Amino acid sequence: MQNFIIANMSLIYFFYGLAFFTLGLSLAIQSRKDSEFVLSKSLWFLAVFGLIHAWAEWAKIYMPMEMRAGDMSGYNVFHIAEAMVVATSFLFLFLFGVNLLVDSIKKYYPIKYLPLILAGIWFIKFVGWDLAVAGVENCGYWAIYSTTAARYILAFPGALVTGIAFFIQAGLFKGFNLKSAARYCQLGGICFLLYGFFSGLVVLPVGFWPGNFLNTETFFNFIGLPVQIFRALLGLVIAFIIIKLINIFDEEQNQRLAQVMHQSIVVQERERLGRDLHDGIMQSIYSVGLVLETGKLMLQQGETEALAAQLDDSQDKLRKTMVLLRNYIGNILQVHQEEQGLKDLLETLGQEFKGLSMLHLKIKNNLENDIILTPRQASNIDHILKEALFNIVKHAHASQVEIQVSPVHNGNRQNINVLIIDDGKGFNLSSAENTDLAEHHGLTNMKFRAQRLQGSLEVISAPKMGTRISLTFPAGGQFGKAAN
Radius of gyration of the chain (CA): 34
Over residues 339-392, the pLDDT tens digits come to 778 999 999 888 877 755 667 889 999 988 888 888 888 888 988 998 888 888
**Which of 77, 117, 128 shows the shortest CA–CA distance to 95?**
117
CATH, range 2-258: 1.20.1070
Domain 340-483 homologous superfamily, CATH: Histidine kinase-like ATPase, C-terminal domain (3.30.565.10)
| 396/34 Cα distance (integer angstroms) | 8
CA dihedral angle for residue 225, residue 228, residue 232, residue 238, rounded to 10 degrees: 100
Question: Among 457, 461, 396, which Cα is nearest to 425's?
Answer: 396
Query: Where do you find CATH 1.20.5 in the chain?
Result: 261-333
The pLDDT value given to residue 176: 75
The amino acid occupying position 224 is: G
pLDDT at 34: 52
The model carries a pTM of: 0.67
Beta-bridge mates of residue 420: 403, 469
What is the helix (H) or strand (E) element at residue 167, kind and residue range?
Answer: helix 156-175
CA 192, distance to chain mean position in Å, is 23
Q: Looking at domain 261-333, which of 1.10.10, 1.20.5, 1.20.58, 1.10.150 is its CATH number? A: 1.20.5
Three-state SS annotation for 319-366 = HHHHHHHHHHHHHHHCCCCCCEEHHHHHHHHHHHHHCCCCCEEEEEEC
Share of the chain above pLDDT 90, in %: 36
What pLDDT score was predicted for residue 283?
Answer: 58
Residue 212 in contact with residue 206, Cβ under 8 Å?
Answer: yes
What are the pLDDT digits (tens) for 203-215? 999 989 999 999 9
pLDDT tens by residue, 227-257: 999 999 999 999 899 888 888 877 766 666 6
Residues of the chain with CATH 3.30.565.10: 340-483
The amino acid sitting at 257 is L
- Is 151 exposed, middle or buried, given 0-12, 13-18 or 19+ CB atoms closer than 10 A? buried
Q: Tens digits of per-residue pLDDT, 455-476?
A: 999 999 988 888 999 999 987 6
Mean pLDDT lowest among 64-68, 169-173, 266-270, 401-405 = 64-68
- Outline which parts of the chain fall under CATH 1.20.1070: 2-258
Report the DSSP pairing between strands 400-410 and 456-461.
unpaired
What digits encode the pLDDT tens for the residues 4-33?
776 677 888 888 899 999 989 988 887 655
Which H or E run includes 401?
Answer: strand 400-410
Calpha distance 92→115 (Å, rounded):
8
Range of weakest confidence among 32-46, 168-182, 211-225, 258-272: 258-272
What H or E segment, with its residue span, contains residue 377?
A: helix 375-391
